[in-house]
Amino acid sequence: MSAILKATTPSAPEKILPCPAPCSNENNPELLATQDSSSYRSLYEPLVNGIPTEPQRSAAADFLRDSLRDTPVGADDLPSSGADLMAWMEASMQAVHGKYQHYLQTRQSGAPRQYFANRSHALYFLRQVAPTKLVDGSWLYGLCAYADNPRLSDLVVTYLEELGNGDADKNHVTLYRGLLARYGLDPIDDLPDAHYEQGLIQLALGWNAQEFLPEIVGFNLAYEQLPLHLLISAYELNELGIDPYYFTLHVTVDNTDTGHARRACQAAIDAAPRMDDGGEYWRRLRAGAKLGDLGVGTLDVIRGFNIDHEVVRIFSHKAPAGHGAHSDFCKVAGRKVNDWLADPKNVPAFLAALEHGGWIKKNQPAAESRFWNLLQGDRAEMFGVFSPYELQVIHDWIRGDASGDGASFETTTQAQSTGAVAQVPRRPLSFRVAERLRLAKGATSSTNTLSPASNEHQWLDTDLSLLREQLPTLGPAEQRDLLVRAMSPALHWTPAGLMATKAFIDRTYAV
């Protein structure tokens, strides 16, 4: 008998499919050694990279209990009963729309961007929030096993929509992974541990649905309402020429008419007990709603950007690879570059020496810095050393205040190669305008080009092979169990997960 036949719910700890490790350190003893076993990330990783074991799920549940205990009672704007939920949702939406209109008016009258000082600031934001975005929707995962209960159907449908109903170009995690790859924001292996807290909360809820149903309903209720920061982020990303689709998609799917925001209210009403519980359900729902406020929030991340610190971080992270890679002739301020890079602590002094030695000319066009020309341009000796994101940060750091125009480092590179540095446009095109121009020239859409092909016959994938092999050998209950496992946070965005999502929808909602 295979392991599959023993498993009946997603809470069972066995591993059926070999799971991919999108940002796992499982095979990296050095990174593992640096991870505190009580860190958020050490709890997060097993929940996102596979089917967690019983002790791992139980540790996540303990973490949730602690988080709920630490969450202050009251101090939310939720109504005191489900009867007022729809009115509450409408009022919240009106308030957000009003603030957004005010934002637009100030921008149209010449106010600067409110969130992102330059392009690297926006990309920094996308990278820092990745641990949360890469588990988007996961708080609802545990309800898939109970999809037959009509009182949970709004929540299950919401989860399926987070998964794009099995379409790669609508799966929220696939879209975010595409965004990271497209702008060179990988790897994300050195983010502060605090950035994993919110993602851990979401995963912990998803893997412990039986114990935390009211909290899941409450979390979903608060999290699916349209926040102002989503609207402003999307607006400013587009303005900086960065694909805002992941964010605009959430503006549309969270809408209060038919979207996730209304569905979340309906789900809270549907799941409420008909029998008297003395107000316990509503109390727990409100506590769950507050879990979305824990961890490092969107505005905290945006305010936390300091380009000097980010440049130092980038060089410090690169130092171990660069140490020993330079010849003895490479010297800055009379000291060998290999020596400078021997200890990441030298990085601030090294950068200062580069500046004093004229290698870097701050507050000038990047192409006027000899150091920049080593990184980019024809026959650049250090081409490929820095990722596209890192190059953008260095580019904006060198340019100083002028980087507020949002220019991409690629524009500078193109201008260098054509000798047209003086003609670099002062203001880059917004993403949407650039996309329209590209399409008018006959190009295909660049949005979501990194998503897996929509034709599953083109997929070559180990989990997909296993799924196809195992599914026909099982009875109906075990088949559904396997599909639910393949729709877990570790797998739903992969070819196997996308196929499983479609098969699950066919079986669950077939008429």
Q: Which residues bind Fe ion (CB under 5 A)?
A: 136, 162, 172
Closest to Fe ion by CB, 25 vs 233, is 233
Nearest to 163 by CA among 399, 404, 490, 400: 490
| Residue 175 beta carbon to Fe ion: minimum distance, rounded to whole angstroms | 9
Nearer to Fe ion, 196 or 397 (CB): 196
Q: How far is the CB of 324 from Fe ion (least distance, A)?
A: 44
Residue 177 identity (one-letter amino acid)? R
* Cα–Cα dist 478/496, whole Å: 16
Least distance from Fe ion to the Cβ atom of residue 421, Å = 41
Give whichever of 162 and 478 is closer to Fe ion, judged by the CB atom. Answer: 162
Q: Which is nearer to Fe ion, 172 or 480 (CB)?
A: 172
Tokens of 401: 């205040």
| Shortest Cβ 450–Fe ion spacing (Å) | 17
Residue 365 Cβ, how far from Fe ion at the closest point, in Å? 39
Taking alpha carbons only, the member of 3, 59, 44 closest to residue 481 is 3
Cβ-in-10-Å burial (0-12, 13-18, 19+) of 467 comes to buried
Among residues 195 and 260, whose Cβ is nearest to Fe ion?
260
CA distance 482 to 6: 11
To Fe ion, the closest distance from the beta carbon of 474 in angstroms equals: 30
Q: Are 464 and 429 in contact (CB under 8 A)?
A: no
CB of 176 to Fe ion, least distance (A): 9
Using the minimum distance from each CB to Fe ion, give the nearer residue, 136 or 463: 136
Question: Closest distance between Fe ion and the C-beta of residue 159, in Å?
Answer: 10
Q: How far is the CB of 250 from Fe ion (least distance, A)?
A: 6
Long-range CB pairs of 243-251 (<8 Å, 24+ gap) are 243/179, 243/182, 243/431, 243/446, 243/447, 244/431, 245/175, 245/447, 245/448, 246/133, 246/172, 246/175, 246/176, 246/179, 249/170, 249/172, 249/175, 250/172, 251/226
What is the number of the residue whose Cβ is closest to Fe ion? 172
Residue among 380, 390, 382, 377 at smallest CA distance from 326: 382
Is the separation of the CB atoms in 232 and 114 below 8 Å? Answer: yes
For the bound state, the minimum distance from the C-beta of residue 162 to Fe ion, rounded and expressed in Å, comes to: 5
The contacts of residue 81 (CB under 8 Å, 6+ apart) are 282
Between 121 and 172, whose beta carbon lies closer to Fe ion? 172
Closer CB to Fe ion, 162 or 197, in the complex: 162
Compute CA distances 305 → 120, 133, 318, whole Å.
9, 19, 20
Cβ proximity to Fe ion: between 172 and 262 the closer is 172
Residue number, 176 or 372, with CB nearest to Fe ion: 176
Q: ∠ CA 110-115-120 to the nearest 5 degrees? A: 110
**Is the N-terminal amide bond of 187 cis, ω within 30° of 0?**
yes
Contacts of 455 (CB under 8 A, 6+ apart): none
Following DSSP, what letter does each residue of 134-177 receive, concatenated?
Answer: TTTTGGGGGGGGGTT-GGGHHHHHHHHHHTGGG-TTT-HHHHHH
